[in-house]
Structure 1
Amino acid sequence: MNHTPQPPRNEAEEREWLMQERAAEAGRLGAQPGDATSTPYDAIARALRQPPNESLPTDFAHHVAEHARRRASANMYLELVLSWTLCGVLMAMLAGLVMHFGTDWLKLAQSTLPLRAMANKWIVVLVACLLVFNLIGRLLDARERTAH
């Protein structure tokens, strides 16, 4: 039930607001359930007036959090599989391009980049390895965040 007054936007909201207010007023006046003037909100107002159930286990919040965590990880599993599949497809396409164009791409890169930076082919390999390790690290971090 809303306790902060908000102006109704239409007649249906006005009726809902009035039913909520009548249920709250009937609860304050001590109306019995099943009266002729009862509304669907009477049961909600009665439930809100009762104290919480004391028979909840002491680790109830832990169980709820664990359930939410399992559900989130199950939902993220498909996204993780699709991400790894996309990464594999992109790597296969990169390998295909390298095999198709051979050393032509290296000559093109040397013509567009400063010659000193590309003079050693091992610098290119080092940069590629660093990029791949960075990508893998980010994917593992994303996986760890979805697991927790």
Structure 2
Amino acid sequence: MIPHDEDHIPTFDDAALEREWQAQESAMRRERLQLDPAGDDAHSRRYRLIARSLRQPLTESLPADFAQQLAARVGAIPSPAASASASFEFKLMLVLAATMAVAAIAVIAIYGSAWLPSFAALAPNPQAPATHWLLALAGCVGASWLLGLWQQRTHRHQR
């Protein structure tokens, strides 16, 4: 085992990364030796807190109010920067979806006459008995879906 005083210092291409690594290592060493944190700066105190947390054993179970804490985090109002970023990502996704739809329509218009008859041959014959059963199945699935939506809406209004 290598003593902690002789830790290998990796080479860094960026001086800022090296300073950050040195600050982390110094804080971890000071925490390990239990030196007085009075002279530490804010970064060192945070790194020492992380080092202290990592050295403590995990708790046996979740806290009693874990669900409430998690719900509060999830339900927290996002910052304006986060909502602006999400809005931008949503707009970008819409542009991508529209581009994909236009490309699909263009491909169908250009090459559809060559491969569309093959798909038409796969469709069931409208006069076959199986077609009536497929329509009945689709009707049952649709009715179940609509009934589920109706139940959710009435249950939501009763609260």
**Is the TM value for this pair above 0.5?**
no
TM bin, normalised by shorter chain, reads: 0.3 to 0.5
TM-score (norm 2): 0.36
Larger RCO, structure (CA 8 Å, separation 6 or more): 1
TM-score (norm 1): 0.38
